[in-house]
Amino acid sequence: MSESRRTLVDLLALERIDRSLYRHHNPEVGERRLFGGQVAAQALQAAANTVEADHAVNSLHAYFLRPGRYGVPIVFTVDRIRDGSSFTTRRVVATQDREAILNLDASFHAVEDGGDYEPPSPLGSVPDPDGLGGDKQRWGSHHQLLDARPVEVPGEDPAVGTRWIRIADTLGDDPVAHACGIAFFSDTGPLGTSRRAIGGPEGTASRESMMTASLDHCVWFHRPARADEWLYYRIEPVACGGARGLARGGIWSRDGHLVASVAQEGLLRWRHD
């Protein structure tokens, strides 16, 4: 596959080196910093590759430790923390040149019956994605893997980020691939939401005036969902201070169900050069 046209399926196709060791060759794409959503999704896939029980992804918690680089292979070492009848737990360390760039804990849960609750759907005032234009933002090389439609909601706080989003290519029917797809695009937006909360959409906290980076990223998967079908992603700021910003988000299916929750703390450091 050419470097100019990648798919998420290609990114999730990890080479098995050993029983708990995987690698992705991570070709050069002409950018300096590796997209965090890519390495988080790949680490989740590596964890899932070692789960033999019929357990679905229920959560992940990732720490971004160093900036990753394109053009350098990524090795994923999986620690099989626990294999239980209800829950399976994995810890993954992603490294480049023998230096850790990400730690990820993932939990997998057997399907069980239980009570249901979800907050009211925000989709009543949201236009359908089919009537919206494509996203004009450029997030980087990973943008080609995504189809995104920004949404303007009347009366919404300008710092809040709202968009319809999906993986641009068909992922097949493996639920793990769809969980990885949601993990992939969940890293698009939280940093911008925190930055807008500090300076507003036209304020002082512009992309040029601040250095930003994902630090701590969590996703909870509430219901199965297809990442290659339209999902509504709403992100709001929680708190900013000490050169860090926390944002939280909800990912909703087109029929109004909350399928995942996201929380991310990111670095918001003023540039002084």
pLDDT at 2 (0 to 100): 35
Per the residue annotation, which of 105, 147, 169, 187 is the catalytic one? Answer: 187
Rounded to whole angstroms, the Cα distance separating 49 from 45 reads: 6
Q: What is the tens place of the pLDDT at every residue in 149-184?
A: 999 888 888 899 999 999 999 999 999 999 999 999
Element at 9 (helix H, strand E): helix 8-12
In the DSSP assignment, the letter for residue 187 is T
pLDDT at 30 (0 to 100): 77
Q: How many CB atoms lie within 10 A of CB 112?
A: 6
Residue 102's closest CA among 112, 111, 110, 94? 94
Residue 219's closest CA among 267, 170, 161, 261? 261
Per the residue annotation, which of 45, 141, 194, 264 is the catalytic one? Answer: 264
114 vs 272, higher pLDDT = 114
Q: Is 187 a catalytic residue?
A: yes
Domains in the chain, please, with CATH? Answer: 8-110+135-270 (2.40.160.210)
The mean pLDDT of 233-251, rounded to a whole number, is: 96
Name the percent of the chain lying above pLDDT 70: 91
Per the residue annotation, which of 59, 214, 228, 253 is the catalytic one? Answer: 214
